[in-house]
């Protein structure tokens, strides 16, 4: 019997501790970060990607020691995204902390963290352009509409180390928001699963009995006008988690064009709020070198102006 020769170009990658528990599609995106997501989903769907020799699905969770078959792709990688020089300079000026393993920047609202889905480029593309010698990658994500602290690893080992902390909920993330309504208590905890739904082609997260588990703690800082200036602490990291849980409380985040009622959006626009009032202001984690980091960045001026214009 003749042994079948190994397939040309195929890689078998063993899942290490940093990726155990992670979704297959996210794992592949990290392995092939220049390849469009649509191409990744296609090779999974057609059975070209296998886990321990078996067909798999994009959301399948990986286990320590799993053998992932990654085929040679027959699609051209995405062309390098040219980020405007002014954007690159602005992001470089927004770096809050940097060492040999990572950097944290204060992402402005309206800027995506990565390219895709109709967006030509994002924050990570800007830093890859300004620092081509690095293998910069995202540790976590922020909604395009959200401002604040965004963490990037400067090399794969650092990125995996930091991603594992986020996945295992070993980090502390704190956001500032203006809720459209008065919190009845100083502290409220929402323990409601979140499920994805589509409306008019847009993705929404809905709190209810189904979906992925999600926990958010809201702490009142002070009443402002008809709203509540609050700190939100997401204990899990689901898509649109704070925004969807605020809606569940009956108090959408002010300025939320996706989740707020149109008349409430107009109400806040008349008070000068032209964006989502949600800002990632504090982040605590352990750096790859063992240093305990406590990073923070202040509320941006466009939100401070709105807040100052409201009565306490």
State phi, psi for 295 to the nearest 5 degrees. -100, 150
Within a 10 A sphere around the Cβ of 157, how many other Cβ atoms? Answer: 13
Within a 10 A sphere around the Cβ of 11, how many other Cβ atoms? Answer: 12
- Determine whether 143 is an active site residue: yes
Residue 119 CB contacts under 8 Å (≥ 6 apart), including other chains = 112, 144
Residue 285 CB contacts under 8 Å (≥ 6 apart), including other chains = 151, 162, 165, 166, 170, 171, 172, 292, 293
User: Among the options 25, 143, 180, 256, which is catalytic?
Assistant: 143
Are 39 and 116 contacting, i.e. CB atoms less than 8 angstroms apart? no
Which 3-state string (H, E, C) describes 130-154? HCCCCCCEECCCCCCCCEEEEEEEC
Catalytically annotated residues:
143
């Amino acid at each position: 019997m003749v042994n079948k020769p190994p397939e040309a170009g195929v890689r078998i990658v063993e899942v290490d501790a940093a990726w155990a528990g992670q979704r297959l599609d996210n794992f592949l995106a990290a392995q092939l970060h220049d390849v469009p997501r649509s191409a990744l989903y296609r090779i999974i769907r057609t059975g070209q990607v296998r886990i321990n020799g078996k067909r798999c699905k994009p959301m399948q969770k990986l286990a320590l020691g799993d053998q992932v078959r990654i085929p040679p792709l027959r699609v051209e990688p995405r062309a390098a995204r040219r980020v405007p020089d002014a954007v690159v300079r602005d992001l470089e000026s927004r770096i809050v902390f940097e060492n040999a393993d990572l950097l944290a920047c204060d992402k402005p609202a309206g800027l995506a963290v990565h390219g895709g889905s109709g967006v030509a480029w994002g924050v990570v593309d800007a830093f890859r352009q300004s620092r081509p010698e690095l293998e910069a990658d995202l540790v976590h994500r922020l909604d395009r509409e959200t401002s604040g602290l965004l963490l990037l690893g400067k090399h794969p080992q650092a990125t995996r180390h930091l991603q594992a902390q986020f996945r295992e909920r070993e980090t502390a993330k704190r956001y500032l928001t203006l809720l459209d309504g008065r919190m009845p208590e100083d502290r409220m905890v929402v323990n409601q699963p979140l499920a994805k739904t589509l409306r008019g082609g847009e993705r929404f997260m809905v709190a209810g009995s189904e979906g992925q588990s999600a926990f958010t703690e809201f702490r009142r800082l002070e009443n402002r006008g008809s709203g509540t200036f609050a700190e939100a602490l997401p204990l899990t990291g689901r898509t649109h988690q704070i925004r969807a849980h605020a809606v569940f409380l009956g108090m959408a985040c002010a300025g939320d064009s996706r989740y707020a009622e149109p008349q409430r959006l107009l109400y806040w626009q008349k008070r000068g709020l032209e964006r989502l009032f949600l800002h990632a202001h504090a982040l605590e984690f352990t750096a790859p070198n063992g240093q305990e980091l406590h990073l923070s960045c202040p509320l941006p001026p466009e939100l401070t102006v709105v807040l100052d214009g409201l009565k306490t």
